[in-house]
Chain A
Amino acid sequence: MIRLALPKGRNLSTALKAFEAADWPLDSLEKGDRRLRIPFPEIDAEALLLKDWDVPLYVEYGIADVGVVGSDVLEEVGGDVLVPARFTEGRSRMSLIGKGGLPKPGQQVRLASKFPNIARAVVATKPWSAEILKLWGSVELGPLLDLSEVALDIVQTGRTLKDNNLLELEAVREVAPILIVNRAAYQNHRQALNGLLRRMEAAGVVE
């Protein structure tokens, strides 16, 4: 049996469509499903519905064999997992946002983000420095209310920024939902997983 760790958040619909395109219909599962473990006996699989941030840990520790998670989340929390494919749908970007321009060389600023580890890596490549403020949500409020000069957050359409008179200063990462696999599970279910990946590639839902 293969156990899937699926994210409750923004990447769930992308994952469901992709699995369906690869002849693994998980159609009894939908956003808002209250069940934590959902069996799919017809494909000898079981799905776990998890918070996005927990998916890498469940896969790394082998509780789930395969998971779907945002590349932003995996980069932030880390994880010794295989990353065989990126989904073609559901992509966005991680950007520096603020009210004015980028900080000037040598300037020390405050940077608000839900992704402090990525923020540190981004700042390390800049000619300016920053105190990182970890926020749990509404990161745009940081620069809007002068808690911080800049913020680092996911931008999809840019509408929230526009509605709040904020600017996308620089896109620093492309963000995509990715398929991750436990290293031992890849050895144990290699044939089934390669078949699944090939079907997803043929349907154009992953690259």
Chain B
Amino acid sequence: MKVSASLPTGVAALLFEGARRHRRLEKTMVDMLEDRGFQEAILPVVDYLRPYEDLLSSQSRSELYRFVDRDGELLAMRADFTPMLARLLAPHISSLNLPIHLFYRGDVLRYQEERAGRQREFYQLGAEVLGMEGGQAEEEALIQFLDLLRVGERAHLVVVLGFAGALDRLLLERSGDGMKASDFVDAMVRRERRHARKAGRALLEVVEDGVPADPSVLGEPAAARLEALRALRKRLAPRFPEVDLRIDLAEFADQVVEPSLLGEIGTRAYYDGLVFRAFAGAGAEPVGAGGRYDRLFSSLGAEVTAAGFSFSIDRLLSPSSEIDR
């Protein structure tokens, strides 16, 4: 009997050199994390859907693989490590010896429409820092992220920095006149200059330069937060010369914190502090991302500072990340 070697859409098998490269990079990253005191968390690949119901946006809900098992339980395949880790730790957080440094690795599954090159199974490696003082947790997570990023030895590395809620005030002020805040968010994320221009000079400056010329237009506490981010960038840039560190608030326009905006914008928006994304070579998809997400824990009834990041090993090893012009 002839057996087909084809696989379902969006998944891939790694054989021979592909598997060797993948494991080699993974091992280097894991060794670095363990050397720095991070402990591994091994998490299940399926879980009940129920604990995540309130955490899901319309987008992340549509990406879930869910099914009813033989006992009639509604289950979901793992689509993200961080919420799973948070829901397992939140009930016990007060009894744990903080701070905690954890890392994880494994596959996540997210449904994506069928299109050339679009994957549905991703291999992630990530880490979380829980219970450290807020600013310190953010800096610690970013430093670890940058350190791991450079071991991938990819082409031109750019890490874009921002913070959740940076543009909330501008978005709220400018919505109306036929455009909802979510339309502005889409326009900012896609750098649609005509919409940004319509909303005023400050948003066009953010689209062009990443930041407004006059930070005070962001309002407080965002303006002070931008100053702190600039100082962080200045501190870290000499330490990571092979990484181009940029501040770009438009990149994170969909990471809102205002409750009225959160309800309207359906993204996986659990960040509430520093956010960052890394691009390697010419790939459009970030090879890694992270940030601070205390809000995720507080929504689960635990008050703790939390910051973390994850890398997509597949994207770090993709040919696009090696293109350097």
Q: Which residues of A contact B (CB under 8 A)?
A: 1, 3, 57, 60-63, 65, 77-78, 80-86, 181-188, 190, 194, 197, 201, 207
Contact of A187 with B282 at beta-carbon distance under 8 Å, contacts A62-B320, A181-B191 already known? no
Q: Are B193 and A84 in contact (CB under 8 A)?
A: yes
Q: Are B158 and A187 in contact (CB under 8 A)?
A: yes
**List of A residues within 8 angstroms of B283 by Cβ:** 61-62, 184
Q: How far is the CA of A82 from the CA of B192 in the complex (A)?
A: 8
Q: Are A83 and B191 in contact (CB under 8 A)?
A: yes
- Shortest CB-to-CB span from B288 to chain A, Å, is 13
**List of B residues within 8 angstroms of A187 by Cβ:** 158, 160, 244, 246, 248, 279
B208: nearest chain-A partner, CB-CB = A194
Interface of A is mostly: mixed
Q: Are B191 and A186 in contact (CB under 8 A)?
A: yes
Interface membership of chain B positions 112-124, coded 1 if the CB is closer than 8 angstroms to chain A and 0 otherwise? 0101110000000
Q: Are B284 and A182 in contact (CB under 8 A)?
A: yes
Q: How far is the CA of A111 from the CA of B24 in the complex (A)?
A: 52
Q: Are B117 and A61 in contact (CB under 8 A)?
A: yes
How big is the B interface, by class?
Answer: 20 to 34
- Shortest CB-to-CB span from B211 to chain A, Å, is 12
- Shortest CB-to-CB span from A153 to chain B, Å, is 23
Interface membership of chain B positions 209-246, coded 1 if the CB is closer than 8 angstroms to chain A and 0 otherwise? 10000000000000000000000000000000000101
**List of B residues within 8 angstroms of A82 by Cβ:** 190-191
A-B CB contact pairs (8 Å), 6 listed: A77-B115, A83-B192, A84-B191, A181-B191, A182-B282, A187-B279
- Shortest CB-to-CB span from A95 to chain B, Å, is 23
What total of A-B pairs shows CB separation below 8 Å?
Answer: 68
- Shortest CB-to-CB span from B89 to chain A, Å, is 32
> B285 within 8 Å of A by Cβ?
yes
Q: Are B285 and A80 in contact (CB under 8 A)?
A: yes
Q: Quick one: which of A57, A85, A86, A184 contacts B282, CB cutoff 8 A?
A: A184
Q: How far is the CA of A188 from the CA of B160 in the complex (A)?
A: 11
Interface centre among A3, A63, A184 (most CB of B within 10 A): A184
Q: Are B191 and A188 in contact (CB under 8 A)?
A: no
Q: Which of B265-298 contact A (CB under 8 A)?
A: 279-285
**List of B residues within 8 angstroms of A194 by Cβ:** 208-209
Q: Are B190 and A83 in contact (CB under 8 A)?
A: yes
- Shortest CB-to-CB span from A189 to chain B, Å, is 9
Q: How far is the CA of A15 from the CA of B325 in the complex (A)?
A: 23
**List of A residues within 8 angstroms of B160 by Cβ:** 187
Q: Which 6 A-B pairs have the closest CB atoms?
A: A62-B282, A184-B279, A82-B191, A183-B284, A84-B191, A187-B158
Interface centre among A63, A80, A183 (most CB of B within 10 A): A183
Q: How far is the CA of A186 from the CA of B246 in the complex (A)?
A: 12
B193: nearest chain-A partner, CB-CB = A84
- Shortest CB-to-CB span from A62 to chain B, Å, is 2
